[in-house]
């Protein structure tokens, strides 16, 4: 083999090595993203293991707030009305609301998978938003008001997603024919 042939083969071998490394890197990045999404989903699901979160969410889901006690122009009075309504559960309700707020930011920045979040929490996000809509709607009208801005943003994204027809029916309907895969021994 002469020197020109050996150089040509070395170039081919180098190119194959670079392409192989690129393909392997792409695969590894894909696996890391899948792992991150799985970890995020487990972290989200862990919220249901938190006593404060569960109590706060239950208080919100069962809320029957007298809106006559609410004054859209007086945030301090509204805070006192909410606090009085929820009593000792108020900090737990705030745990839920601030969790939704934080998740909105994480989804917007791409640090959390929207679809995993949607599958786990879309129903309770919409119900939480609807429960507090009399409080959130005036916030939308105030240009500089940043209260619960990411929670409102997140609720809007879920509503848009479902209005576009991209959402799924409740799991017990959408996946009623699902069977676990056969176990490989």
Rounded distance, CA 86 to CA 69, Å?
A: 13
- What are the boundaries of each domain within the chain? 1-47, 50-168
As a whole-number percent, the residues of the chain with pLDDT over 90 amount to 12
pLDDT at res. 158: 93
Q: Which of 181, 122, 109 is nearest to 156 (CA)?
A: 122
Residues 6+ away with beta carbon under 8 Å from 168: 119, 174
Where does residue 116 fall: left (phi above 0), alpha (psi -120 to 50 degrees), or beta otherwise?
A: alpha
Residues 6+ away with beta carbon under 8 Å from 55: 89, 92
For the chain, the average pLDDT equals: 84
Work out the pLDDT band at 155, boundaries 50, 70, 90.
very high
pLDDT at res. 151: 92
Summarised one tens digit per residue, pLDDT across range 40-70 is: 767 777 777 788 888 998 898 888 877 777 7
Summarised one tens digit per residue, pLDDT across range 84-139 is: 888 999 999 989 998 899 889 989 988 888 888 888 888 889 988 988 887 787 77
**122 to each of 63, 115, 141, how far by Cα in Å?**
18, 9, 24
**Which burial class, exposed, middle or buried, applies to 95 when counting CB atoms under 10 A from its CB (0-12, 13-18, 19+)?**
buried
**99 to each of 11, 103, 180, how far by Cα in Å?**
54, 6, 32
pLDDT at res. 159: 92
pLDDT at res. 11: 86
Encoded tokens for 19: 């392409």
- The model's pTM: 0.72
Q: Which of 97, 114, 102, 116 is nearest to 41 (CA)?
A: 116
pLDDT at res. 88: 92
């Amino acid at each position: 083999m002469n020197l020109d042939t050996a150089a040509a083969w070395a170039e081919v071998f180098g190119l194959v090595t670079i392409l192989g490394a690129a393909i392997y890197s792409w695969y590894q990045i894909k696996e890391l993203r899948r792992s991150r999404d799985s970890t995020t989903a487990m972290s989200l699901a862990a919220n249901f293991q938190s006593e404060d979160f569960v109590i706060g969410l239950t208080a919100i889901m069962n809320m029957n707030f007298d809106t006559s006690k609410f004054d859209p122009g007086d945030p301090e009075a509204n805070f006192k009305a909410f606090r009085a309504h929820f009593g000792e559960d108020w900090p737990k309700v705030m745990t839920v609301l601030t969790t939704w707020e934080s998740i909105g930011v994480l989804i917007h920045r791409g640090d959390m998978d929207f679809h995993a979040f949607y599958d786990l929490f879309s129903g309770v996000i919409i119900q939480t938003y609807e429960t507090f809509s009399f409080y959130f709607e005036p916030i939308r009208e105030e240009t500089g008001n940043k209260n619960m801005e990411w929670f409102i943003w997140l609720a809007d994204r879920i509503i848009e997603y479902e209005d576009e027809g991209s959402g799924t029916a409740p799991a017990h309907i959408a996946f009623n024919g699902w069977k676990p895969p056969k176990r490989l021994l």
